[in-house]
Amino acid sequence: MSNKIFDCIILGGGPAGLSSALYCARGNLDCAIIDISSIGGAPVNYCEIENYLGFDKIKGFELCEKFENHINNFNITKLEYEEITKVDLKSNIKTITTKNSTYRAKTVIIATGAKPKKLNIKGEVENIGKGVSYCAVCDGAFYKDKVVMVVGGGNSALEEALYLTTFAKKVYLMHRRDEFRADKIIQKRVQENKKIELILNSIPLEIMADKTVNSVKILNNQTNKEKIIKIDGIFPYIGIEPNIELFLHQVNFDKFGFIITDNTMKTNLEGVYAIGDVRNTPLRQVITAVSDGAVAGVEVSKYLLNLKETMKEKEV
């Protein structure tokens, strides 16, 4: 372990983490971003983003590239492809242990985001990479002229179903109710797209495969009838769950597992903040993640200034 103590270590290099790094760096703080993969976060895999102010339409990876280019103008330590194995957030000096090293900091910003929820049905996990995918942008091109199914009724499901129509000859969009929670503008586009067939009031029961996925057994929850539909691939988009395993028994969570913060992004622990999809926020968008990051970056600067002044007073 090096003797270095960062002012702030940011856990996660998505839009929230990058924005907090920008604000920390502009506050002249010595900060580092640690990410298990490359910088960018979940939006790298979004097909298109059209609700980030200033861009009519931009591909997820392009926006993330712009974020990264922006923070590259500052002296921020980027620790990519570092898997965090343990964190100690309760002490005054926080310790972050990765598979390669141990880092220390006066403050920590948790920006670890969220992962896709699983359907938890037979044939799902067994067939990941063989027809089950949680990323249309990554795998859509494998389904040229094929038949796929998207499950879910939120923004992700509808947006990715639309994206998949650029490859697939048919996209079933299956939802457990008859009303979608996705934005109305996306719903209209889905209704107008001839390649999309809606299957409402239905849930998947089992994904069947030989070498790759070939069909799905579904249940209509109104008629109670089961049916088998032939498909080549299935994309569950049924929501997200926060990446919080590292912080259990340290920070406080709400009943859904999201980290509780106040409106300055502070958690229950001194010097620990949470931002973006991992926290209990009413809206999970790139624009709100970036806004969380700005608030946390400024709050960390204020916190460290107060800490310095308190130390000085103690010395006098």
Question: Mind telling me the catalytic residues?
Answer: 135, 138-139
> Please, which residue, 179 or 313, has the CB nearer to ligand NAP?
179
Stretch that binds ligand NAP, among 30-38, 173-181, 225-233, 251-259 (CB under 6 A): 173-181
By the rule CB under 6 A, 156 interacts with ligand NAP: yes
Site size toward ligand NAP, by CB under 6 A:
21
> Please, which residue, 167 or 237, has the CB nearer to ligand NAP?
237
Provide the 8-state DSSP code for 122.
B
For residues 247 and 289, give the distance between their C-alpha atoms in angstroms, rounded to a whole number: 20
Q: In terms of C-beta density within 10 A (0-12 exposed, 13-18 middle, 19 or more buried), how is residue 288 classed? A: middle
By the rule CB under 6 A, 222 interacts with ligand NAP: no
Closest contact distance (angstroms) between CB of 35 and ligand NAP is 20
By the rule CB under 6 A, 287 interacts with ligand NAP: no
By the rule CB under 6 A, 258 interacts with ligand NAP: no
Closest contact distance (angstroms) between CB of 106 and ligand NAP is 32
Our CA angle for 256, 61, 83, nearest 5°, is 55
- Binder of ligand NAP out of 214, 250, 285, 288 (CB under 6 A): 285
Residues in region 49-108 near ligand NAP by CB under 6 A: 49, 51
Element (H, E) at 54: none
Closest contact distance (angstroms) between CB of 22 and ligand NAP is 22
By the rule CB under 6 A, 181 interacts with ligand NAP: yes
By the rule CB under 6 A, 25 interacts with ligand NAP: no
Closest contact distance (angstroms) between CB of 283 and ligand NAP is 6
Q: Give the three-state DSSP class for 5.
A: strand
Q: Are 17 and 293 in contact (CB under 8 A)?
A: yes
- Binder of ligand NAP out of 35, 82, 139, 159 (CB under 6 A): 159
Q: What is the DSSP string of 14-53?
A: SHHHHHHHHHHHHTT--EEEE-SSSTT-GGGG-SEE--ST
For residues 216 and 3, give the distance between their C-alpha atoms in angstroms, rounded to a whole number: 55
By the rule CB under 6 A, 242 interacts with ligand NAP: no
By the rule CB under 6 A, 152 interacts with ligand NAP: yes
By the rule CB under 6 A, 239 interacts with ligand NAP: yes
Provide the 8-state DSSP code for 135.
-
- Name residues whose C-beta falls within 8 Å of residue 218's C-beta, 6 or more positions apart in sequence: 174, 199, 202, 203, 204, 205, 226, 227, 228, 229
Look-up of token digits 């990876």: 61
Footprint of ligand NAP (CB under 6 A): 49, 51, 119, 151-157, 159, 176-177, 181, 203, 237-240, 284-285
